[in-house]
């Protein structure tokens, strides 16, 4: 390929690309003009305002409905919790004597603290590095 033919191809490419850019720019300008005119139209502006008001009303009503449903669900959950607690209290009072004898005794709090302090106060091994348990 000679230098002249390459130069001619490059010039054709640039001309074609420039024409494409101009045409696209003109289309964009025309579309922007249409949109600007539509935005300035008072009737269309009023329709948009009306639709936004309708949307706001719908959102408000929906939010109120959801809040009511959540309140109902919370009330039902509270009632169920109280019923379950009452049943547990009733069952616990009936089974209290048998459960007390079968339950293992717990250490008094003072004895548990002494045990913990004894574990903490263990001396470290001297010499080599201490190994950690994982």
Tell me the domain boundaries of the chain.
1-40, 42-94
- CA 134 – CA 119 distance, rounded (Å): 17
Q: What is the pLDDT of residues 116-134, one digit of tens each?
A: 555 555 555 555 555 555 5
- CA 39 – CA 51 distance, rounded (Å): 15
More confident residue, 112 or 88: 88
Q: At what angle do helices 3-40 and 42-102 cross, to 10 degrees?
A: 90
How far is CA 120 from its chain centroid? Answer: 43
Q: What is the pLDDT of residues 41-75, one digit of tens each?
A: 888 889 889 999 999 999 999 999 999 999 999 99
pTM, two decimals, is 0.38
Q: What percent of the chain has pLDDT over 70?
A: 69
Report phi then psi at 41, rounded to 5.
Answer: -70, 120
């Amino acid at each position: 390929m000679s230098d002249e033919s390459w130069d001619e191809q490059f010039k054709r490419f640039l001309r074609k690309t420039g024409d494409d850019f101009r045409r696209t720019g003109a289309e964009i300008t025309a579309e922007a003009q249409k949109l600007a005119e539509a935005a300035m139209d008072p009737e269309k502006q009023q329709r948009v305002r009306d639709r936004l008001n309708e949307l706001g009303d719908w959102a408000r009503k929906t939010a109120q409905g959801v809040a009511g449903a959540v309140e109902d669900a919370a009330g039902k959950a509270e009632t169920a919790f109280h019923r379950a607690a009452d049943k547990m209290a009733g069952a616990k009072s009936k089974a209290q004597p048998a459960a007390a004898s079968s339950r293992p005794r717990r250490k008094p709090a003072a004895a548990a603290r002494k045990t913990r302090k004894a574990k903490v106060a263990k001396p470290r091994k001297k010499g080599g590095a201490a190994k950690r348990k994982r």
